[in-house]
Structure 1
Amino acid sequence: MNPYPADTATGTPAATAPTPDREDTVPDGRPVCRPRAVLAMHRELAGRLIDPHTLARLTALADLDPGLVLDDFGTPEARAALADAEVIVSGWGCPPIDEEVLDAAPRLSAVIHAAGSVKHHVTEACWRRGLQVTSAAWANALPVAEYTVAAVLLANKRLLEIREEYRLRRAPHDWQLAYATAGNYRRTVGIVGASRIGRRVLELLRPHDLDLLLHDPYVDPAEAARLGARAVELDELCAASDVVSVHAPELPATRHLIDGRRLALMRDGATLVNTSRGSLVDQEALVREVSSGRLDAVIDVTEPEVLPADSPLYDLPNVVLTPHVAGSLGGELHRMAAAAADELARYTAGLPFAHPVLAEDEHRTA
């Protein structure tokens, strides 16, 4: 078995913010600091991520130039901004904050990430500096869970199969007889990983009269029961479930967690849902199973992330293939920016982050 940890948002409170250079007040009269902050992300992302309301909040809370978005920390413009920056508000495309960057940013105290994983830019040097770090991973988890729940419910309703048959028949048919075993009542759904997303999926599925299974080696039976599921080993989950949904973090130990052997354990007509990372599923083995028609799949992540144009996954009628859009898309991006503004407000008020990322958890989170 490939053991893997839960990606949860627990931990000890972060340290409070340092003494400010100058003070303003919030409406109730409490003094707050107004630190210097800088945006660091893909330049074209900032306008889509931060709506006018949140931008107004950010600039009220911090001395921040909304026209300056850093995607390269090595330029003279970036070095000048980093020299006084106390907070980096980061997003997708933020360059690594390494020792050289930290040398150029002697006052940097916090990184507020308006997205999910911080592993791409928060380096070991940041933890040695003692930076406070927070992430909007919890906010990005919400649309992933919603996508997953929709996929689970429609899979049990045999949507893909019925759609194709209806398209071909275009005539009256006894659908009740043809799909007598379809539907969601008392179907079994297996959740692989009690991550933020996995837990939210379980929460959203609980009202639907489903039998929920959970595999996570870091979750005991009592905790699984509190989440509304029964804790089982992964092989049992694969064999017993009508839908298997993957929510484990991408770690060396989770590569091909769902391999050819475990796919073979899945019952005929079952559906695999993967909104985690492509590496968690043996993609070649999955292609064989779905090409045969034995399994269905809903896949938002692949390996590589954009498949070759000749991949059969694009065209198979029993596969839903989407381009890594289960997470925040369109207006959902604004939730992550609002979450970052909330954390900046806590920082300026001298409060610990509500959603800290801790150095000791980095090895076991996505």
Structure 2
Amino acid sequence: MPGETMETIFDMETVALDDEDSALLILDQTQLPGRREILRLKDQKSIWDAIYLLQVRGAPAIGVSAAFGIYLAAKEINETDFDAFYTKFEAARDYLDSARPTAVNLSWALRRMDGVVRANKEKPIEEIKKLLLREANEIKAEDIRVCRAIGENGLALLKPGMGLLTHCNAGQLATAKYGTATAPMYLGQERGYGFHVFCDETRPLLQGARLTAFELTQAGIDTTLICDNMAPSVMKQGWVDAVFVGCDRVAENGDTANKIGTSYVALAAKRFKIPFYVCAPTSTIDMSCKTGGDIHIELRSAEEVTEMWYEKRMAPEGVKVYNPAFDVTDAEFITAIITEHGVAYPPYDASLKEIFERKAKAEK
């Protein structure tokens, strides 16, 4: 209708809670960009499926979903004895935790919610449920603050007019707001920096093509979509001044797991002397994980490669398919890790420790 303003992705929440209806609301990312559908998830199997099937994805958004999801599970437990309540809570926690083993925010959020339960075991169960709701809401609010801070810290490393490249989707759709790797881009857009951004399509699930390119163009950012194997070519042309990616887990030594293909981009950036930045909330940094070799890499179904995006199968029947969801970029290829508490530079075992010390002081 004339005069109507069309709703954009920035008018919609990636993850939300309808407490009155006991439902987790998510924007179904498997339907984007063609269709915008909000799913109302009321049972643990549906929430588990949504995480596993990437209807909700991105480490921070998964963490927020897990927090709301385990709250809804607790809400349905009809026990007044703490031990009986906790046994069922623990089972629900472990079930949700099994959905995506690589994304550390999933287990981080569930551990945080579990800590609320154990710290308040002397209180009535109904009071514990209220505390869980408060904690889940805080996890979401905290994610927004964290992403904004990452954006400010990342933008400080950039100059107006730069060409940037990103892989996969570490944007608004992967978080509660702003994104991680895209946060400097959005803040730069607000301030007239005039960035030009190249988006890798990100095979096989096309998160860069379907999600990041969609987000950035809706925000008015000058955006060019490229196939994954074109990244070295645009770098060689001198069109890329910096690479920004998100991550699903950072090890103590700085090795980083992110969507498959990230390590290839890092290698190319190193060859062409382009800074390669990883944007990581401290919730995604796992100091108990010594190196990237300790990160479990999720393997996904062959159909994602052979037929998911095609009208008919595009590979011969019976061919073997290797489909890891993530790869590990070695710390030596990472220029810096940008967090909400500052920028960490090599050696990462020391600088990441310092980041957590800053975080502890800020939280006092």
Q: Same fold (TM over 0.5)?
A: no
TM-score (norm 2): 0.32
Instruction: Kindly name which structure, 1 or 2, has the bigger radius of gyration based on alpha carbons.
Output: 1
Would you tell me which structure has more helix in proportion to its own residues?
A: 2
